[in-house]
Every structure is written in C-alpha cells, then in structure tokens.
Amino acid sequence: MGSSQKVWCQLKQIKNMNTKKIIFYVLVPAFFIIAIGTLFILNRNKKATNNTTVNQDNGIVYYNGQSIQNNPAGSSLEVNNTANEEKIKIKTASGEISVNNFRKNADVIENGAEYFVDKEKYNVFYYSPNNEFAVTLLVNQDIENTRKEAESDFINALGISKEDACRLKIILYVSAALTTNSDLYQNHGLSFCSGSKTFSQ
C-alpha cells in the first residue's frame, strides 16, 4: 500500500471516529433534552386542560369560567405551612385539624393550585389564593363511583376522618371541559357531608 493510500485510510478512520463522537456527545444528549422537554410540556398541558383557570369575584369562585358556590359549611380555612413537617394544621371555623403535609410533594402550577392527587379520572388540589380544596372529576359518566374514589383518595392523602373532611372548605365538581350540563360543574360537595348533592346523569 502506498503512502498516499495509508494517509487516505488514516483520514477515513479519523472521520469515522469523529462521526461517532458527534453522534455520542451531541445527538444523544440532544435527544434526551428534547424528550424531557416534551414530557414537561405535555404534563403542563394536561393540568391546563383538566382544570384551566381559577379565579374569584365577589366571593364566588370561578372554575373554567363557570361559577361554583363555596362549601355551605364555610370554614375559614388557613394552612400553617412548614414544608419539612410531616403534619400541618388547618384552621377551620370549628377549630384546628391536623392533616398530613400534602404540600411536601404537591405539583404547583402557575395559578397557585397545589395538586397532591392526580389520577386519570380525577385530581385534587389546594387553591391557596382562596384557601380551599377542590376535587375535579374528569369523567362525564359513572360519575358517582368516580366521586367516591376521589373522596377516598382525598381523605387518605390528608389522613383524616370523614367527619373532619366535612369541616374543611372543599368543592367537588365535574370539569366544565367535559360536559355542557351546567349542573355537573357546580359544587356538589363531599357525598358523605350534609348539604351535598347527587350527580344527575
């Protein structure tokens, strides 16, 4: 093999090595960055679709642009938050309730909602600007069974009894994005509390 052929072979090997290095050091990390970014965007979009906007006007809470009256119990809920504690205190109209610190692992989105239960059929969040809990049902059929599952997850997440749950300020409704029936996205309350309503389908 002549010297020029040797040089050409060496250059070809270097080129192949450089191509492999570019693939390994540039394309592989870029792929992972794109994948992680896509998952992050999809998760944010899911939250926005499920619960959209939350705001308050003259004492009436609006979810998805529809008014939802507050829990008739009307507890003046105030969370004393210490992020590292296992338990936190919630002040209500009838005294304090000790609950599991749902804020430790909550997923907070831009409007101030803190999601601590996030399932395919429902999610539960604490909305700090209005000092209340909300259960959003993401179904428009088999609503009562889904409601009971969500209620069970809610009291288990907080580590409280049904009696204490009824002392909290909480609303429960079907997402307005899933129904045109205005009754479904009004507050129905916890099924085991006085003043609650049954979903009509």
pLDDT in tens, 128-141: 888 899 999 999 89
Q: What is the pLDDT of residues 106-118, one digit of tens each?
A: 888 767 899 999 9
Alpha helices in the chain (DSSP H): 3-22, 28-51, 143-158, 162-165
Are residue 73 and residue 97 in the same domain, yes or no? Answer: yes
Q: How many CB atoms lie within 10 A of CB 132?
A: 20
How confident is the model at residue 180, as a pLDDT?
Answer: 86
Q: List the domain range (segments joined by +) for residue 77.
A: 53-178
How confident is the model at residue 92, as a pLDDT?
Answer: 87
Are residue 86 and residue 136 in the same domain, yes or no? Answer: yes
Are residue 62 and residue 84 in the same domain, yes or no? Answer: yes
Q: What percent of the chain has pLDDT over 70?
A: 57
Residue 127 clears pLDDT 70, i.e. is over it:
yes
Residue 160 clears pLDDT 90, i.e. is over it:
yes
How confident is the model at residue 69, as a pLDDT?
Answer: 41
The answer to whether position 59 is within a domain reads yes
Between 108 and 6, the more confident residue is 108
Residue 59 clears pLDDT 90, i.e. is over it:
no
Return the residue matching tokens 């005294």.
95
Are residue 101 and residue 164 in the same domain, yes or no? Answer: yes
Token pair in block for residue 94: 């009838």
Distance CA 61, CA 108 (A): 19
Are residue 22 and residue 105 in the same domain, yes or no? Answer: no
Are residue 96 and residue 111 in the same domain, yes or no? Answer: yes
**Number of domains forming the structure of the chain:** 2
